[in-house]
Amino acid sequence: MTTISQHHSHLQTQLSSDIPGLSTLLSLFFGFSLLGFGSPVQASSSPTITLVIDDIGYNLRNGLRAVNLPGAISYAVLPHTPYSQRLAKAAHQKGKTVMLHAPMTNVHQWEPGPGTLSPSMDRETFDQALKKALADIPFVQGVNNHMGSELTQDSVRMQWLMEEVSKRRLFFIDSRTTAKSVAAKTARANGVPNMSRDVFLDHIRTPSAVNEAFDTLVRQAQLNGHATAIGHPHNVTLNMLENRIPELQAQGIRLVSVPEQLVAMGQIYKDVQPASATPEITIPNRSPAFWRSEIQQLTRFKETDATHPKITRKEVIIRKKSPNLQRLNRTEERAVPNRENTPHLRDAGRDMLHQPIHHPDWLTPKDKQNWAAAHD
């Protein structure tokens, strides 16, 4: 796990080796920062943009496409999803920042997905759910909220969240799904390096809307020196980013990762060494019945738009024994205008067979026969 402190140490070593005699000056500067005297600074005079892609984990094809975007982009991965670990590892291998996209309850009563944190949880249940979610995402460096317009108003549970984030020396980004959020305030009170979202790139999923949102992002960066944007792995968003990220250099704007921007802002943990020990996570033994249940659940893809209430919520079920994968019900027919945002069913079904959770060796001999018959 890479922490903000480790990132700061690496940056100091790299700069010291490039410019002779700079080591002492950097030591003094970072020393003041660690004592709490560091003031927010920009790494350079050029405007910077931090870009986070949320909702990674359900769609393998678009997830890999997002990971391959150029530049220092960060990826917020949903826990307990079919491709969470595979996509987190792919992002890490490309030197990108990996985050936990923690599902939280919202005022619209939409279903955030597995591992949801809610105001009804007591401390023990809350901590257990959060630790399991963090354990599910390899190479995690930070956390941001998925939905959460209800929970991020709960100062008590935001305090519980920040205490665990601080123990692990992670950062936090407030997705700002409500103006009443106390998440960033609570993070600052606990000394957690944090940022807040400035622009949603795909609040409205049309080519003109996402391009206009990107223009807004560029203007805010030029005006304020920095801006933070959140997007999602929708085709329309990825098309726009693939075309427009290369334009940033010509505009004199740098794309920076979350840890790099936090260091530039002087937001680092005051103690260089992490906490004495990361709380041990005990993973319970899982029976064959558990894995059979998982296989049934993960042959179902759900997609709910977290940012735009007018988008129709839909559920598409993959039929194991239907090779032509025809339309299943009227709900799916109503969702046809948004079909581009739904994983390709044939590819999704094939890709799921390569996941360890679906391997026949997890099953009993009888279940292996059923599995083979269903996938011939």
- Best mean pLDDT range from 11-25, 86-100, 300-314: 86-100
**Residue 270: per-residue pLDDT:** 80
Specify the higher pLDDT residue, 20 or 260: 260
Cα 211 from chain centre: 22
Query: What are the tens digits of pLDDT across the range 121-152?
Result: 999 999 999 999 999 999 999 999 999 999 99
- The residue among 38 and 182 whose pLDDT is bigger is 182
pLDDT category at 187 given cuts 50, 70, 90 is: very high
Q: What is the pLDDT of residues 353-366, one digit of tens each?
A: 333 333 344 455 66
Among 253, 259, 211, residue whose Cα is nearest residue 231: 211
Angle at the Cα of 283 from the Cα atoms of 279 and 287, rounded to 5 degrees: 175
Question: Which alpha helices (DSSP H) does 168-303 contain, by range?
Answer: 183-189, 207-224, 235-244, 247-250, 258-264, 288-297
Model confidence pTM above 0.85: no
Q: Are the C-beta atoms of 143 and 170 separated by less than 8 Å?
A: yes
Using the predicted structure, report yes or no on whether residue 84 has a pLDDT greater than 70.
yes
Element (H, E) at 113: none
Looking at per-residue pLDDT, the higher value among 182 and 323 belongs to: 182
Query: Interior CA angle at 231 toward 229 and 232, to 5°?
Result: 165
Q: Hey, what amino acid is at 358? A: H
Contact (CB, 8 A) for 125 and 103: no
Three-state DSSP at 95 gives coil
- Asked if residue 350 has pLDDT above 60, the reply is no
From 275, 260, 257, 296, select the one nearest 374 (Cα to Cα).
296
Q: How far apart are the first and last CA of the chain?
A: 41
